[in-house]
Amino acid sequence: MDLVKVQLTNSEFLSTGIEKLDNLLEGGILKGFTTLILGSPGSSIEILSKQLAVKGKVLYVTTDETEQEVMDAITRFGWKPEHIEFTDIATKYSKSVLSREKKRVSIYEQRSKLKLKELIEIGSSGVMPAVKAQEDFLAIFSNSAKTTSPEKIILNSLDFFLSMYSQEEVLRTLHAAKVANIERAGVLFIIMTKGIHGEVFERKMEGMADCVLELNVIQKGSTFERFLAVKKMRNYAKKIGIARYAIDSDGFVLEMIERIM
């Protein structure tokens, strides 16, 4: 049976906001796709994540930086986002940490003022008030992914959730976000540091994603070379390729593009 070639129109793609990256992807990211972006330390993946947020209607879920820090970086590069909203988990987490520490200190001060007899009585009848559980940040992300209708959702980064939840919990949430993204016909970008969460988990993430981009830094003598590889594009193997990139005053800049046949 002959393969049927389907010509995709521009309306089926969403621009990444980076012209040369769109060229590498031959049109951008297909609507409904979940895109995993893996970056080795030093790859400047955090700059790419912000540049992706410049074009289109965007929900930016930030865990490593606050909303203000992200906007400061965007302003510094001179980018002008068309429409960007935030789910600022970084700020929520910082407030949660400070709140828990304040409660911990308060409990310590209360205990230090009690007499030995009172402590024995508390020990036999109950315990001092415990610190309340922290917010469910994974649920906050999940709710944002299901209840908003942006063209792009950018999660920067998955590392935060993997430091607080089991890999199975994270995968379940991502699968739900993926389904919501398909129904919305948007693009979900998931940013993750390469090589720190285990090879098996990385393979699971690559299997779940429709598109996989990988950023690597290679040292050659006293210089560094940066490469972006399109490792996977579901149903479009011809889009697999690699490009050298640089970071300059304009941000993430792709240079030479090579196709891998």
Q: What is the pTM of this model?
A: 0.83
Q: What is the SS3 assignment for the chain?
A: CCCCCCCCCHHHEECCCCHHHHHHCCCCEECCCEEEEEECCCCCHHHHHHHCCCCCEEEEEECCCCHHHHHHHHHHCCCCCCEEEEEEHHHHHHHHHHHHHHHHHHHHHHHHHCCHHHHHHHHHHCCCCCCCCCCCHHHHHHHHHHHCCCCEEEEECHHHHHCCCCHHHHHHHHHHHHHHHHHHCCEEEEEEECCCCCHHHHHHHHHHCCEEEEEEEEEECCEEEEEEEEEEECCCHHHCEEEEEEEECCEEEEEEEEECC
Residues sharing a CB contact under 8 Å with residue 225, sequence separation 6 or more, in sequence order: 217, 218, 219, 244
Domains parsed from the chain with CATH numbers? 10-95+134-259 (3.40.50.300)
Average confidence score pLDDT of the chain: 86
Higher pLDDT, 157 or 103: 157
Average pLDDT value for residue range 29-41:
96
- Asked which of 188-197, 199-208, 232-241, 250-259 is least confident by mean pLDDT, the reply is 250-259
Cα 153 to chain centroid distance, Å, stands at 9
Q: How does strand 13-14 pair with strand 29-30?
A: antiparallel
pLDDT, position 114: 57
pLDDT, position 97: 74
Amino acid making up residue 163: S
User: Could you read off the pLDDT of 179-228 as tens digits, one per residue?
Assistant: 999 999 999 999 999 999 999 999 999 999 999 999 999 988 888 899 99
